[in-house]
Amino acid sequence: MLQRVAVDALVMLVAPVELDDAATMKERLPAPLAAEVAGMRERDLFGGRLGQVQALPTLGLLPCRSLVLSGLGPAASSADAWRDAGVYAARAALARGLQRLAVPLPQAAGDVRERVRALAEGLLLGGYRMPSFAAAAQPSPPALREIALVADRADLAALGGDDAAEGFAQPLEAARVLAIATQYARDLTNLPGNVLVPDTLAQEAARVASRYGMACTVLDEAAIKEHGMGGLYAVGQGSANPPRMISIRYQGTDTWDDVVGLVGKGITFDTGGISLKKPEGMEEMISDMGGAAVLLGLLHVLGRLKPKINLVVVIPSAENMPSGRAYRPGDVITMMSGHTVEVLNTDAEGRIVLGDGIHYAKQLGAQRIVDVATLTGAVLITLADVATGALSNNEQLQQEILGAARQAGEKVWAFPNYPEYHEMLKSEVADIKNASSRDRWAGSITGGLFIGFFAGDTPWLHLDTGGTAWLWNERDTQPKGGTGAMVRTLAHWLCNV
């Protein structure tokens, strides 16, 4: 099976039930290696559980240096298991300097194309490495150079004959595109705040849009003020790096109708402004543009897969800094929509810039809107860093996004949208206030509903990635730092990959 593929390691995805059947492992491996795997099972070193990985030398029994075993867990036939097992296998291989991998497809009944896409996606995502700015010469960390998915003739016959290999081309390309988009979003999120400011974010957006022939418009601080975007202008006025409003248009049909709007929070650094954050952990605030990174990552998906949809991407970008020019608690600002906002907390700035972003997206033709934002720390209280919070004014849109998240293997939990929560944002001096007076109560919900106020009757959904866009340490299948959370969910929703 491996004679025609020059690789460093054979990667086998193994379900617990396979380890219970000695004959199965002997069919898949030379007898001495099968015996060693059985011994590892007896010593409780490898039981095929998801997340379990073991590597052992092949001792010349296979035409490669190493055998990497990655557990599938009890749900061995699910796409999620194949994706996650691929991530763990890629990490284990790279930790051992193994750069060329052959991965036999696990035996599975029925059409396995979705699982093959998930497996390839996992292998590619598991190869992610955070970029380094170190000046000293350092050996480059190993990177995956080649992955061969291997199916023998019996496998192909079970999948529909020799032409089944051709049928894998589309899911493999989808996996590659999803990985490219997610890793791009991770890299962008990991950029330091002195490297990525609103203007450089706008330049990057224009570069990516131009690469795929999409129209990009950037409004500078003067144009932002001229357009009446008082929310974005107020948040950005305290910084030496002025704000930018970025919009990108993707047209995949002959007529500009049924337009989807995506709005992403682009706060390139957030000190909290006058309502200054505590210093511990503030360095994480380079990730406060994680929503913008997700949407720019999606441009790679749209540009490569070219779905038949119409889309406008809007990114309000600013730095939230304290200075003599910064906006203050107690200020009343006028938004692009004409509504007024009473500012109670300058650290609740993301929802303010998104309010202008939502209205701008509607002006550009958006008929359904999804916003993505590292909006609240409160989401961590409810969901930790495990799941993204969702809030919507439209049940159909909400179910579509939740379904796409399940396909992508990303965890999203819907918050309730009750009238009592809206009451918490009523102001005595303006149309709405940017934080509840009891801001420790339902903080994620009220923060989202502030954004929804500017959506009005337009179908709208908010994704709060305040807990999932950035991780302090590698956890499960997610890397340390920027994660690119929600790139794949939105790609599934928009492109049906």
Q: What is the pLDDT of residues 378-402, one digit of tens each?
A: 999 999 999 999 999 999 999 999 9
- From the list 117, 244, 351, 488, the catalytic residue is 351
* The predicted structure's pLDDT at residue 138: 67
Annotated binding site for Mn(2+): 265, 270, 288, 347, 349
Looking at residue 157, what is its pLDDT?
60
Q: Pick the residue with more confidence: 6 or 228?
A: 228
Where residue 204 falls (left for φ over 0; alpha for ψ -120 to 50; beta otherwise) is: alpha
What local confidence, expressed as pLDDT, does residue 460 receive?
A: 98
| Active-site residue (options: 100, 176, 225, 277) | 277
Three-state SS for 309?
coil
Let me know if 277 is a catalytic residue. yes
pLDDT score of 15: 93
Lowest mean per-residue pLDDT among 50-64, 97-111, 290-304 = 97-111
Residue % of the chain over a pLDDT of 70: 94
Averaged pLDDT, 332-339: 98
What confidence tier does 2 reach under pLDDT thresholds 50, 70, 90?
Answer: low
3, pLDDT greater than 90: no
Per-residue pLDDT at 366: 98
Q: How far apart are CA 371 and CA 390, in angstroms?
A: 10
In this predicted model, which residue has the larger pLDDT, 227 or 153?
227
Taking CA atoms, 69 is separated from 5, 412, 486, in Å, by 19, 30, 29
For position 216, what pLDDT does the model report? 98
Query: Which segments are annotated as binding site?
Result: 265, 270, 288, 347, 349
For residue 88, pLDDT over 70 is answered with yes
Banded model confidence at residue 124, pLDDT cuts 50, 70, 90: very high
Angstrom distance (rounded) from CA 190 to CA 193: 9
**Residue 439 banded pLDDT, cuts 50, 70, 90:** low
HSE on the CB side for 154, CA within 13 Å?
6
Annotated catalytic residue 351: yes
Q: Is the confidence at residue 446, as pLDDT, over 80?
A: yes
Burial class (CB in 10 A: 0-12, 13-18, 19+), 3: exposed
Query: Model confidence at 134, in pLDDT bands (50, 70, 90)?
Result: confident
Residue 89 pLDDT greater than 70, yes or no:
yes
Average pLDDT, the chain: 93
Tens digit of each residue's pLDDT (9 = 90 or more) over 461-475: 999 999 999 999 998
User: Could you give the CA distance from residue 127 to residue 143 in angstroms, rounded to a whole number?
Assistant: 7
Q: What is the pLDDT of residues 341-388, one digit of tens each?
A: 999 999 999 999 999 999 999 999 999 999 999 999 999 999 999 999
Beta bridge partners of 391: 462
Instruction: Name all domains of the chain by residue range, CATH numbers in brackets.
Output: 1-127 (3.40.220.10), 180-495 (3.40.630.10)
